[in-house]
Structure 1
């Protein structure tokens, strides 16, 4: 037994030594690598060898003088490496190619891009900071992150990226690391750093573990001074050095030595660790066995420059065991001093050769033995891809952390019981957050100059969402609350149910004296557009939260803490490629939009497309009217016309069928005893909904209320002012006698039936359904629809009688009516019969924006489930989405329109499945859902403006042509 233990111990020791002494610069074709390195080294002069030690700072946004300086560095001093700083990718690529052409040995190009090229270059991609990524539990995503940055670097001719930061940030007051660290857990930091390294180095872009031996527990910035880490070796071994040992095993190619004062490692307290042989050679290379490139931190930083002259610092760094000098300040003087040291044997030529050989090995590993210039074409496109945004979305979604949820408020369900206010704190914008919140339900922005005024304004609300928004420009921006904000926060929390969403470092929560009164806390880490939008979506249950805190917040919330939320199957908002659709193909909608507007088919319109529960296209075009005084917004609402049938009447009829209040098998005489002896007595609900009941298409009821000679409205039936008898509002300053409703229903009852059997679209049955529903449920149709569906769906912009809820400016005008109401119809239903019923009817009267139409259609697509609530049984949705008279050539389901059976009919684009369903509306509206493709499509317009004679939209089938574009955009 003892022998076995000894053997096992020896195996472990041998393995440990081997893993820590692996050479990360050695390639698979190492024999060719050795030949190339030796051939270069053999032909180098001493000056050329010394030149390989320098990595000089180069800019792509400076003048010709700077470019001439870099040219001199390469041609006269044989500088072998450049680190590009600020500028643009286009100019950097041009300079990169120019400088490379001057070099005898290809230049190693370095870059400092911890969260992507955006760290230095304009118009490049910006990924999240490490602190954000530290909250992610899936290391595969971090590896992908590394791969993407590697691809960007490679595309721009960058060979080494000075990342990842492997500092364990155990000091919340750290002024320079903070958000640049993966957090305070050494294990988590290590996992993330290794994943990132593997990803980036898979693209043959070298990673750089920094800042050795550990910058995470400093209270000062080495850019400005020499920070002190007064810890013993045991502490450093257990925390600071922990990630390095493991990332060395993962073959990280290089390490950056930091400018620190660590007395336990270097007794000379004036000597930065970057210049200490005890640290760079004895600890890093001998004890830890690191064989990759050792590169100093920037030698322009005060943590180094305060020590000696620039040349003396550079020599000291090489003497200490560094291979490369990052941002040297005086190359000519340094060259002279290094040559002098070689002459004096202070620095041996053997050591110089060994160092240069490592650098050349690294260059071979990077592919510089087969150097190719940067291709300038399509550079911007390649550095800002859709794939980058898809990954960015995944990173954000997986990082956002639900820290507290004492009342299990997140995600927000039961929206019909919520009255929500949003209050902004912080000095940065929260507009993306607010706008996304409003996609889900009514959310009011509440603000005031003083606390008492704010508290008073918040009284009507039972939930307050507080967004704390700080600058997202760079990771060392202040994340702290102002004292005033802390007071306001606690006072609001004391009085109101609150969700606090922090769009900055989780360390901001350290300022809160108490979390007791704050029911829910979310950390979204950054104030980017994506973080704001995705956090809002999570609050409403569009997807589940699963991030974990990368740092501790006092004793309340330990590192690794995070609650999991759950999805409520609400719509998400994303880009087409996330659901395998093409942005480029969807852009063709813009061309059709141009045609619609140019040919005045409609003054404006909205288009929305979703797939698999994710909205991927949501855009408004044109203006409310031809006067072009108000552009259409996504929030604006349109008269839906006959979409009312499937968005108001039909869901209520489905419930009535389930509850056996109005069975689809019931006849009219069973629902309305007064129909017993009429020609419609035996017509069933199923037949009416299928438009197979021989009902006339429509009755122009309003004509019967007008003088047959003058065409003017009868004074016996209308008044311009409301009174007890004339109480039904038809339009502005137009009221009809309230008893006339009975005349409408009598006319329906008495009108002759069509003699011919077969399909005929008719509104008449929906007049009757309104009466039946109101009778069974003892509430008005508009109240029923709102209470049973719209309120809890969050469809707050779907309503009858919109002027009672919305400002007129939010409602798109419909028609200039010169035949009945003799006015611009603005907020009043266009359909004449519905207007005569006071604006609430079963066949028309509903107003909404495309977003809220999509919610109802998505509920249907999810078989009656949405927002965590079952509205309709799955089997009921299937029952209504069935053709019962297909053998009679009736394409309709129960209420739903279905794809055409006759090729000559163009109810759809002809590109949707037979399971699909939807409806169109007279005012130029259209919506369709397809269970097979997962597509929901909404088109809303006021094509009847200025008059209903404007039929270009219909004649040209523009709505279904756009439907074809959406279908064609599917790329799987």
Structure 2
């Protein structure tokens, strides 16, 4: 009788645990802060105040904040305008240029899936998959793990625009035409069509770029420019269609994609910088990042656009360690490995592709922390040059999305960083807990 009772008890525990996991793996629903133990009045007052201050101090002309806790979107508000002329108000369904947030929402999920499938391995030389590196003395033994953790000693950035623009500012017509024609189909902007084979020039320059002998943390986006080609080679499918069919479409992330100008979205696309070098007007509907634009807007370093709600879906999937709404996208083991700090002994906080909190983040004040000091060590995310920021905290079950166009009208505007707006807003959702009854 005792054995039978124990068996029944174990079955009940298994059912309850399965129900718990199922509850953690639901799609996002809508709710209120109070439903998840947060003080609604405190949160709205604090966030509104910080955002108003950010706009007043010209950290950004407008922005929006979305927070999901326990699979429930409990806060989503828009602030300000698209530009400082106060003509178009920010709307909740606006689409933003994600800049480097692309890195963890574009190539990274594909790379994780390929690791799951055994088509990529983290600790073999990357030259196993990218053949040009096999003949490069300083690159042939670099691993994918080192690359994704920014521990490979690669050059941080190459300004490929320098190869396209003459010293007098004119565009070199052998690389860029004003109309689409044979061999010039990669559209960078209205009336700017880049030579289709210019990507080969970019790859050659990346392949020949220097590597530091000192293996320490140095952020580099170079390989993210070649990851799309690698993904196409390994999958036999175009980079964009692979991402859409395996991730964005099943997640219901309908606004997530490249070159939104070509998609006929009903949502507004928030403009970025007043470009004085390449496009010579307000950059809108096309990617801001020049390197991504020279690849026709489709890249792994930048180029992805999305709404806040769709970003929340992919971040919730990550926070659930690879599953969302009953569907598994990435194995839990792979997701946890990519989220792990790889080289803490080298003062490197990074996971694989994912950014992580500073190693001593919990000990720091808000002014010095990155991101908010209250986030857990298991949390992760990424920031973007245009003023975007996404973060997930599996311990607190909290997804945080901050979207702005701080580069409007110019990238020289650093106030978003100086005022630490994004971390200050994030902190509110950790401090705004209701007293336990």
Q: Does 1:682 find its partner at 2:141?
A: yes
Q: 2:93·2:267 contact (CA, 8 Å) conserved in 1?
A: no
Aligned ranges 1:75-154 → 2 under 5 Å: none
1:855-880 Cα distance to aligned partner (Å, 9 max, x none): 11100111111122111111111011
Aligned ranges 1:948-959 → 2 under 5 Å: 948-959=411-422
Q: TM-score, normalised on structure 2?
A: 0.90
* Equivalent residue in structure 2 for 1:731, among 189, 210, 232: 189
Q: 1:654·1:876 contact (CA, 8 Å) conserved in 2?
A: yes
Aligned ranges 1:901-920 → 2 under 5 Å: 901=359, 906-920=369-383
After superposition, the Cα gap between the structure-2 partners of 1:752 and 1:589, relative to the gap in structure 1 and judged at 3 Å, is: same
Find the residue that maps to 2:146 and give its secondary structure. helix
| Offset of residue 628 of structure 1 | 1.7
CA distance in 1 between partners of 2:255 and 2:331 (Å): 25
* Equivalent residue in structure 2 for 1:774, among 232, 237, 246: 232
Find the residue that maps to 2:74 and give its secondary structure. strand
Aligned ranges 1:916-931 → 2 under 5 Å: 916-931=379-394
* Equivalent residue in structure 2 for 1:692, among 151, 164, 169: 151
CA distance in 1 between partners of 2:258 and 2:318 (Å): 21
| Offset of residue 574 of structure 1 | 0.2
Find the residue that maps to 1:674 and give its secondary structure. helix
1:779-836 Cα distance to aligned partner (Å, 9 max, x none): 2222111110010101101111111223476111111111122222111111111110
| Offset of residue 902 of structure 1 | 5.4
Aligned ranges 1:228-247 → 2 under 5 Å: none
Aligned ranges 1:158-557 → 2 under 5 Å: none
Q: Does 1:752 find its partner at 2:210?
A: yes
CA distance in 2 between partners of 1:755 and 1:577 (Å): 53
| Offset of residue 567 of structure 1 | 9.3
* Equivalent residue in structure 2 for 1:967, among 427, 430, 435: 430
RMSD: 1.9
* Equivalent residue in structure 1 for 2:273, among 792, 798, 815: 815
Find the residue that maps to 1:816 and give its secondary structure. coil
* Equivalent residue in structure 1 for 2:62, among 604, 610, 626: 604
Q: 2:32·2:74 contact (CA, 8 Å) conserved in 1?
A: yes
CA distance in 2 between partners of 1:567 and 1:586 (Å): 24
* Equivalent residue in structure 2 for 1:578, among 35, 40, 43: 35
Question: Which residue number in structure 1 is paired with residue 257 of structure 2?
Answer: 799
CA distance in 2 between partners of 1:970 and 1:704 (Å): 53
Q: 2:24·2:320 contact (CA, 8 Å) conserved in 1?
A: no
Question: Which residue number in structure 1 is paired with residue 403 of structure 2?
Answer: 940
Structure 1: give runs of 5+ residues left out of the alignment.
Answer: 1-542, 544-564
Q: 1:585·1:968 contact (CA, 8 Å) conserved in 2?
A: no
Q: 2:183·2:196 contact (CA, 8 Å) conserved in 1?
A: yes
**Which structure's CA Rg is the greater one?**
1
Name the structure, 1 or 2, with higher relative contact order (CA <8 Å, separation 6+): 2
Find the residue that maps to 2:135 and give its secondary structure. coil
CA distance in 2 between partners of 1:749 and 1:897 (Å): 25
1:684-707 Cα distance to aligned partner (Å, 9 max, x none): 110111000101110011112111
Find the residue that maps to 1:730 and give its secondary structure. strand
Structure 2: give runs of 5+ residues left out of the alignment.
Answer: 1-18
List 4+ stretches of structure 1 deviating above 6 A: 565-568
Q: 2:25·2:320 contact (CA, 8 Å) conserved in 1?
A: no
CA distance in 2 between partners of 1:624 and 1:577 (Å): 31
Count of paired positions: 409
Question: Which residue number in structure 2 is paired with residue 592 of structure 1?
Answer: 50
Q: 1:808·1:827 contact (CA, 8 Å) conserved in 2?
A: no
CA distance in 2 between partners of 1:951 and 1:600 (Å): 9
CA distance in 2 between partners of 1:970 and 1:877 (Å): 29
After superposition, the Cα gap between the structure-2 partners of 1:736 and 1:663, relative to the gap in structure 1 and judged at 3 Å, is: same
Find the residue that maps to 1:961 and give its secondary structure. helix
| Offset of residue 586 of structure 1 | 1.1
After superposition, the Cα gap between the structure-2 partners of 1:606 and 1:775, relative to the gap in structure 1 and judged at 3 Å, is: same
| Offset of residue 970 of structure 1 | 2.7
After superposition, the Cα gap between the structure-2 partners of 1:969 and 1:823, relative to the gap in structure 1 and judged at 3 Å, is: same
Find the residue that maps to 1:610 and give its secondary structure. strand
1:720-752 Cα distance to aligned partner (Å, 9 max, x none): 101012111111110111111100000000011
Question: Which residue number in structure 2 is paired with residue 884 of structure 1?
Answer: 342
Find the residue that maps to 1:680 and give its secondary structure. coil
CA distance in 2 between partners of 1:781 and 1:764 (Å): 17
CA distance in 2 between partners of 1:863 and 1:809 (Å): 30
Question: Which residue number in structure 2 is paired with residue 701 of structure 1?
Answer: 160
Question: Which residue number in structure 2 is paired with residue 375 of structure 1?
Answer: none
